[in-house]
Chain A
Amino acid sequence: MGNDAYATHPCTHTGVMNNDQPVIEIDRVTFGYPPHLLAEPVLENVSLRVEQDDFLGIIGPNGGGKTTLLRLMLGLLKPQQGSVTVLGQPATRTRSRIGYVPQHARIDASTPASVLDVVLMGRLGASSWGCRFSRSHCDIALEALGRTETADLATRAIGTLSGGQRQRILIARALASDARILLLDEPTAGVDAHMERGLTDLLHQLNEQLPIVLVSHDISFVSRHLKRVACLNRTLTCHGAGEITQEVIADMYHDHMVVVHHDESCPLTEHPSPDDRDAEPAG
């Protein structure tokens, strides 16, 4: 990587002089799904570096390749061009080192498992065969619940929890595995404004120990709380926090957009709809 363009690219140059190995390094990755493969790539020449103390948000329109990039980092997909390196190894060999937090919506009310059962699944890779988890695994799972301030929920059925609580449980599950990086998919989907603030505090707290990467369509959330923002729509552009302006968003979505600042301090429940504008990226 003695390439000058690569070194000075905003997505790979994090602003800090850091000689440590990056936790995630995505180097000129191009990826397409069959049948078109590279004729219509989902990701084109994407480069990204995640450092040890990073708190990075990846935003972009639906179909912009957010989930694909996430799956590449998780090692569930292999790039057709370029490379994805996690902790110095190819991503496909480091699956258990990334704590992945999927959208909580995938758990339904009838799931026959307690909160502890779900968190213990983060210990599966490290556990032996058999039908029970050993005491030490249970202790690690309980400790992870403690870190997300949900230890009191351990015996509850997972289906009876609220959206915000489930999100915390899934974060605890990711922490219970020996994760060195936290990767979250739409952490605020289906979580109300009050819960969202608690979740943000928690993520900031965890960020003191772990680098965090999250994918979201919620631009206001991302731009308010994160250190760095990457905008993904087939290609990737990076911005420092606070640099996300209406122009940047309009450029990315190729459309007229209006950014509506909407959080718990907002007195209105409904915003006046902007004339001749059909999309609202944040809400």
Chain B
Amino acid sequence: MIQFFHDIPDNPFLLTGLLAGVLASLACGVIGPYVIARRIVFLSGAIAHMAVGGLGAAIFIATVSPVALGWVKPMHGAIAAALLGAIIIAFVYERAAERMDTLIGAMWAVGMSLGILLIKFTPGYHTELMSYLFGNIVYVPWGQVYLMLTLDAGIILIVLVFHKRILAICLDEEQARLQGVNVTATNIVLLSLVALTVICLIQVVGLILVLALLTLPAATAGHHVRRIGPMQWVSVGLCIALTTLPRIAVYGTRISPESAIVLAAAGVYLLSVAMMRLRSGRR
């Protein structure tokens, strides 16, 4: 653990990794409570897996046409696909909410297969996809940090403008509609926020583990504070602790930092559940 601090001057990636963790924490701490309140955890999963399709597509077109489209980064594809997924889900929710379950399953599987297929057809050897699937907090280039900074700024700005309306559809959608809120548009805004958050989290824990960091800290916060605003603050704090401490703790061991982060999040959640049980049992 001490080794981590000794190595920081020699290895700039350790610092960018920590920074990436904090930036991802901002996004998921703010958006996670909405996801919990509106019960769209699995929708978020579908959006994350749509992003894999986008990653594959971006890697494919950038390799096939390096001159015209060489500037396309995998993350661009992921952002586009995740936003597309958010919009599809919002429209299907409006027209055929009872089919949501099927749609989520389909998007989950199709996004993933499309990504894998396109990577297979991309000429040359690519290990990149693996780092997106499982995350790579050990190697975070500055470019990635700037991208996350932009996403964070966008997310927080949108939340500052839309918070009341998003909260309204989380609490009681029909009442929101009677108050003149455009529920479909607000839904698109919320799901797009989730999509952008997923992109931020990919760097830290990878696509497969995104759901853990999006939901567990927010759910833990929900045990102790009962309003969405404080829940967001507590979640941000928890996320920062969870993306930083486990990673420093397992530095130099064979344990992958991404798994350590997710397991720590689950551990904290379980501990919190146990505390709640004890407290209500005593009453």
Contacts and interface: CB of A to CB of B under 8 A. Distances in A.
A167 interface: no
B181 interface: yes
Given A112-B33, A112-B227, A112-B231, A121 B171 contact: yes
B172 A121 contact: yes
Given A127-B164, A130-B160, A131-B163, A100 B226 contact: no
A81 to B, nearest CB: 24
B80 interface: no
Nearest to B181: A124
B3 interface: no
B175 A102 contact: yes
Given A117-B227, A124-B164, A133-B164, A96 B37 contact: no
A113 B227 contact: yes
Interface in A101-122: 102, 106-107, 110-114, 117-118, 121-122
B71 interface: no
B162 interface: yes
Contacts of B178: 74, 76, 95-96, 98, 100, 125
B172 A124 contact: no
Contacts of A110: 36, 222
Interface in B171-207: 171-172, 174-181
Interface SS of chain A: helix, strand, loop or mixed? Answer: mixed
Contacts of A106: 172
A190 interface: no
A133 B168 CA distance: 13
A216 to B, nearest CB: 19
The residue among B168, B226, B231 with the most chain A CB atoms within 10 A of its own CB is: B226
Contacts of B40: none
A30 interface: no
Interface string B144-181: 00000000000000011111110110011011111111
Contacts of B177: 76, 95
Interface in A196-240: none
Contacts of B171: 107, 111, 113, 117-118, 121
B160 A113 contact: no
A157 interface: yes
A177 interface: yes
B164 to A, nearest CB: 6
B228 interface: yes
Given A118-B171, A131-B163, A159 B226 contact: yes
Nearest to A74: B178
B261 to A, nearest CB: 24
Interface in A143-175: 157, 159-160, 173
Nearest to A75: B178
Interface in B69-126: none
A177 B165 CA distance: 15
A114 B161 contact: no
Given A121-B168, A131-B164, A112 B226 contact: yes
B164 A130 contact: yes
Contacts of B161: 129-131
Contacts of B180: 95-96, 124-125
A158 to B, nearest CB: 8
Interface string B17-60: 00000000000000001001100000000000000000000000
Contacts of A121: 167-168, 171-172, 175-176, 179
A190 to B, nearest CB: 17
A125 B227 contact: no
A112 B224 CA distance: 10
A245 to B, nearest CB: 35
Given A111-B171, A112-B36, A112-B228, A124 B160 contact: no
A210 B172 CA distance: 24
Nearest to B37: A112
B163 to A, nearest CB: 4
A122 B37 CA distance: 19
Contacts of A157: 226-227
B179 A112 contact: no
Interface string A74-92: 1010000000000000000
Interface of A: 74, 76, 95-96, 98, 100, 102, 106-107, 110-114, 117-118, 121-122, 124-125, 127, 129-133, 157, 159-160, 173, 177
9 contacts: A111-B37, A118-B171, A121-B168, A122-B179, A124-B168, A124-B180, A131-B159, A131-B161, A131-B163
